[in-house]
């Protein structure tokens, strides 16, 4: 079910939405004013650990594979170290640095302008496809390209086509080759298919992807194996395993962010006119968390706090855990769904959606929960009672933009 | 001869064409859009320069009136320092604009009760 009127769905009054916004603003302000040395120490520690893991992995493969006796355990340990290094670098460091979460430190290296991560997609394209397209138009059908990554049908509102019968296979391929899927993400395959993409821009992006992809391939599959001498095959296999580990992990974490039951899709138009409070509300309803301990959250880039990340994408990720306590309390106070659950359950739901939506709607049923029940104190208003929100609040009223402009 | 560089949005404004001086790093291809809300939002989130549409560098520059500087709330998108300086010299630019540099900024969407109904930038680590 895609939501066309978020306020109606949540049964909140205008004043309640704005009060919710003010309370979220207060949370944001508190973090902004308290961020400092301990936060800087955290990200520096993460980068140190990530680099130690990389060095440990490379040395283990370089030295450990030379002896027949230690070859297999060294290959396993080396691949594991490298996989963990890539996961930590991509999830907790690269993704969050590129959001500008650490720009306030004024560190020449740990800055959204300078960080280039260890994956095939160029940072510049990620900042467009993810920071802008995905975070600004979160879960809005037709806007947010993260809904199915251009190859999967993830919402019942998306028209079914026989090609989607292969969806479970496409999903497995996307998971295994995730870094390459992400690398092509900003190209916007749908616009290319429709002939809407500017060919010059497409060529520029392809050149950028080609350069970055070539460097990644050279690093993982040519240079490091060559440095291993006669054991080049072992190093090459270990590097491929590390990339596969990172691909599968990143895919699972990302699919848990917006596709479990309870994370809603939207159909609004002209979303950039919405107020801050309305934007907050849409982010909360469109995202899903998962539960876990500190290590799980670090290795998932603190995206287990996806709701908090979408509310405050540029606040330091190490603060999301404390923010989540307050956000959850606000959700209870305002009777707004706070979607969370164990990782296996959240991914299981996303996987079930992928499989079910490979079939036409008539053959399956929706798994989305019912909307929140209006509380007794919040009498639902009729259309005639509800004030026009177009001028004051933006665009969450029904009707097309052209109709609004005409009125 | 170098052709006018196009940016990721594929656009090239008349102002940009007029201002292009052959330096691809500082061609103000998108300068005419610095007051457009959609463009401002895109620059803020995608971390691109509002003037040339390429990735921001460090420091990040903002142009603002004395009032905006005093409030630490800017409305023009973030820019490269060179692009901001170039834009300030462009005919038609506000003569009161001051240039401020920062390492980071908060992007603030307008709230209903705000008198200022445009998205704004609040530099958080002035240089």
Per-residue pLDDT band for B24 (boundaries 50, 70, 90) equals: very low
| Contact check, Cβ <8 Å, A277/B111 | yes
| Residue B117 in contact with partner chain A when CB distance is under 8 A | no
For A348, residues 6+ apart whose C-beta sits below 8 A from its C-beta are: none
Contacts of A18 in chain B (CB under 8 A): 111-113
Per-residue pLDDT band for B6 (boundaries 50, 70, 90) equals: very low
Per-residue pLDDT band for A377 (boundaries 50, 70, 90) equals: very low
Do residues A179 and A247 touch, judged by C-beta distance below 8 A? yes
Q: What is the dihedral of CA A394, A399, A404, A407, to 10 degrees?
A: -130
Q: Tell me which residue in A104, A205, A276 faces B109 most closely, judged by beta carbons.
A: A276
| Contact check, Cβ <8 Å, A276/B110 | yes
- Do the domain assignments include residue B4? no
- Do the domain assignments include residue B2? no
Closest-CA residue of chain A to B54:
A124
A contact test, residue of B112, B115, B124 with most A CBs within 10 A: B112
Contacts of B62 in chain A (CB under 8 A): none
Amino acid A142: pLDDT: 84
| Contact check, Cβ <8 Å, B113/A18 | yes
Contacts of A387 in chain B (CB under 8 A): none
Q: Tell me which residue in A124, A276, A277 faces B55 most closely, judged by beta carbons.
A: A124
Return the domain boundaries, chain A. Answer: 14-326
The ipTM (two decimal places) reads 0.83
Do residues A324 and A297 touch, judged by C-beta distance below 8 A? no
Q: Tell me which residue in A32, A136, A276 faces B111 most closely, judged by beta carbons.
A: A276
More confident site: A275 or A372: A275
| Contact check, Cβ <8 Å, B103/A393 | no
| Contact check, Cβ <8 Å, A106/B125 | yes
Domain enclosing residue B27, as ranges: 14-123
Contacts of A205 in chain B (CB under 8 A): 8
Touching B: A residues 10-39, CB under 8 Å: 14, 18, 21-22, 25, 32
| Residue A128 in contact with partner chain B when CB distance is under 8 A | yes
Q: How far is B35 from chain A (nearest CA, A)?
A: 14
Contacts of B109 in chain A (CB under 8 A): 275-276, 279
| Residue A207 in contact with partner chain B when CB distance is under 8 A | no
| Contact check, Cβ <8 Å, B103/A106 | yes
Cα angle A110-A114-A120, degrees, rounded to a multiple of 5:
105
pLDDT (tens digit per residue) in B53-62 = 999 999 999 9
Q: How far is A81 from chain B (nearest CA, A)?
A: 32
pLDDT (tens digit per residue) in A71-100 = 999 999 999 999 999 999 999 999 999 999
pLDDT value at A146 more than 70: yes
- Do the domain assignments include residue B7? no
Nearest to A223 by CA among A235, A213, A234, A212: A235
- Do the domain assignments include residue B55? yes
State the total domains in chain B: 1
pLDDT (tens digit per residue) in A14-52 = 899 999 999 999 999 999 999 999 999 999 999 999 999
Nearest to A271 by CA among B120, B121, B109: B109
pLDDT value at A376 more than 50: no
Amino acid A189: pLDDT: 82
Do residues A128 and A90 touch, judged by C-beta distance below 8 A? no
- Do the domain assignments include residue B18? yes
Closest-CA residue of chain A to B58:
A113
For residue A73, give Cα distances in angstroms to A246, A390, B38: 20, 64, 54
Amino acid A8: pLDDT: 74
- CA A323 to CA A313: how far, in whole Å? 12
pLDDT value at A268 more than 90: no
| Residue A124 in contact with partner chain B when CB distance is under 8 A | yes
Q: Tell me which residue in B47, B58, B125 faces A131 most closely, judged by beta carbons.
A: B47
Query: In percent, how much of chain A has pLDDT > 70?
Result: 88
Return left, alpha or beta for A401; rule: phi > 0 is left, psi -120 to 50 is alpha, else beta.
alpha
More confident site: A11 or A182: A182
| Contact check, Cβ <8 Å, A18/B42 | no
| Contact check, Cβ <8 Å, B55/A106 | no
Do residues B110 and B119 touch, judged by C-beta distance below 8 A? yes
Q: How far is A168 from chain B (nearest CA, A)?
A: 32
| Contact check, Cβ <8 Å, B124/A104 | yes
Q: A285-315 burial, b if ≥16 CB within 10 A, otherwise e?
A: bbbbbbeeeeeebbbbbbbbbbbbbbbbbbb
pLDDT (tens digit per residue) in A302-328 = 999 999 999 999 999 999 999 999 999
């Amino acid at each position: 079910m895609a939501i066309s009127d978020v306020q109606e769905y949540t049964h909140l009054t205008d004043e309640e939405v704005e009060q919710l916004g003010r309370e979220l603003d207060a949370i944001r302000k508190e973090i902004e004013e308290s961020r400092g040395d301990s936060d800087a120490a955290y990200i520096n520690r993460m980068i140190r650990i990530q680099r130690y893991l990389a060095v440990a992995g490379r040395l283990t493969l370089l030295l450990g594979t030379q002896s027949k006796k230690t070859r297999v355990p060294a290959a396993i340990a080396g691949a594991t170290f490298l996989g963990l290094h890539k996961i930590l670098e991509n999830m907790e460091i690269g993704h969050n640095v590129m959001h500008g979460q650490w720009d306030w430190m004024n560190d020449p290296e740990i800055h959204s302008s300078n960080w280039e991560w260890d994956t095939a997609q160029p940072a510049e394209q990620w900042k467009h496809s993810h920071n802008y397209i995905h975070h600004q138009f979160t879960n809005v059908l037709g806007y947010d390209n993260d809904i199915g990554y251009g190859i999967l049908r993830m919402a019942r509102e998306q028209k079914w086509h026989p090609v989607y019968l292969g969806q479970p296979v496409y999903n497995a391929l996307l998971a295994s080759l995730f870094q390459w899927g992400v690398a092509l993400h900003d190209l916007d395959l749908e616009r290319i298919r429709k002939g809407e993409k500017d060919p010059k821009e497409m060529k520029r992006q392809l050149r950028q992807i080609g350069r970055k992809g070539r460097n990644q391939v050279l690093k993982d599959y040519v240079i490091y194996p060559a440095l291993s001498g006669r054991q080049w095959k072992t190093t090459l296999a270990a590097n491929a395993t590390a990339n596969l580990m990172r691909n599968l992990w990143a895919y699972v974490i990302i699919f848990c962010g917006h596709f479990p039951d309870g994370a809603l899709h939207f159909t609004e138009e002209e979303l950039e006119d919405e107020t801050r409070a309305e934007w907050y509300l849409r982010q909360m309803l469109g995202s899903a968390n998962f539960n876990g301990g500190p290590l799980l959250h670090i290795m998932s880039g603190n995206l287990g706090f996806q709701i908090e990340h979408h509310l405050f994408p540029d606040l330091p990720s190490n603060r999301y855990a404390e923010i989540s306590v307050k956000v959850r309390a606000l959700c209870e106070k305002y009777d707004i769904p706070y979607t969370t659950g164990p990782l296996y359950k959240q991914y299981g739901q996303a996987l079930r959606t992928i499989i079910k939506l490979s079939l036409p709607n008539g053959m399956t049923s929706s798994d989305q929960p019912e909307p929140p029940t209006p509380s007794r104190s919040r009498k639902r208003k009729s259309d005639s009672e509800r004030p026009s929100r177009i001028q004051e609040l933006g665009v969450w009223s029904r009707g097309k933009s052209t109709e609004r402009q005409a009125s | 001869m170098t052709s006018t560089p196009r940016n990721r949005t594929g656009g090239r404004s008349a102002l940009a064409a007029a201002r292009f001086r052959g330096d691809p790093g500082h061609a103000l291809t998108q300068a005419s859009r610095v007051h457009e809300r959609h463009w401002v939002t895109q620059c803020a989130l995608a971390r691109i320069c509002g003037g040339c549409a390429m990735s921001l560098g460090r420091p990040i520059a903002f142009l603002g009136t004395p009032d905006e500087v005093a409030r630490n709330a800017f409305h023009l998108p973030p820019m490269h320092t060179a692009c901001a300086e170039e834009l300030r010299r462009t005919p038609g630019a506000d003569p009161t604009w001051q240039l401020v540099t920062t390492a980071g900024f908060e992007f603030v969407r307008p709230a209903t009760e705000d008198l200022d109904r445009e998205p704004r930038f609040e530099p958080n680590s002035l240089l």
